[in-house]
């Protein structure tokens, strides 16, 4: 899957989780950029991304996901 495609899908997942259709992700989008992205919502995001891509992250991977770009990198490695 191309990085672009992964990004598209991620964008939709974030829109669902935050219930915000106007959300546009960037490579360096972090929790600081989205007001409601706290540690608890992060868990929902992990569930949502796992569901979308049909994968399960390891503890190390989840810890590493500090921004959207890193998330996309990990996904690309896994699928």
Partner 1 sequence: MIKELTYPFDADEIIVKKRAIKRKLLEDKDNMVSKKVAILGGYTTNNVKNILELFLMANGILPEFYESEYARYYEDAVFGSEELDSFAPDVVYICTCNRNVPFYPDITDNAEEIDRLLDDTYSRYLDMWESIRERYNCPVIQNNFEMPYYRLLGNSDASDLHGRVNFLTRLNMKFYEYARSGNGLYICDINYISADYGLSEWSDPFYWYMYKYGLNASAIPYLAMNVANIIKSIYGKNKKGLVLDLDNTLWGGVIGDDGQDGIEIGQESSDAQAYSEFQDYISEQKKIGVLLNVNSKNDLENALLGLQHPDSKLSPDDFICIKSNWEPKDRNFKEIADELGLLPESLVFVDDNPAERQIVTDSLPGVSAPEMGEIHERIRVLDRSGFFEVTSLSDDDLKRNDMYKTNVIRRKQSEAFSDYHEYLLSLGMKAVICPFEELYYPRIAQLTNKSNQFNLTTKRYTVEEIASAAADNETITLYGRLEDRYGDNGIVSVVIGNVSGEVCDITLWLMSCRVLKRDMEYAMFDALVDECREVGVKTIIGNYYPTSKNSMVAEHYKTLGFSLCSEDEQGHTVWSFDIPFEYSRKNTVIDIGK
User: What is the binding site for partner 1 (CB under 8 A)?
Assistant: 13, 16-19, 40, 43-44, 46-48, 50-51, 59, 62
- Burial of residue 70 (CB within 10 Å: 0-12, 13-18, 19+) is middle
Q: Between residues 2 and 21, which has the closer beta carbon with respect to partner 1?
A: 21
Tokens of residue 13, six digits: 């997942």
Q: Least CB distance from residue 48 to partner 1, whole Å?
A: 4
Q: Between residues 2 and 39, which has the closer beta carbon with respect to partner 1?
A: 39
**Other CB atoms within 10 Å distance of the CB of residue 36:** 11
């Amino acid at each position: 899957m191309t990085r672009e495609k992964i990004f598209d899908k991620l964008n939709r997942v974030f829109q669902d989780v935050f219930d915000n259709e106007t959300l546009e992700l960037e490579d360096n989008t972090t929790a600081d950029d989205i007001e409601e992205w706290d540690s608890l919502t992060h868990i929902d995001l992990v569930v949502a991304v796992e569901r979308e891509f049909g994968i399960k992250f390891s503890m190390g991977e989840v810890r590493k996901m500090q921004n959207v770009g890193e998330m996309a990198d990990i996904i690309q490695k896994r699928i």
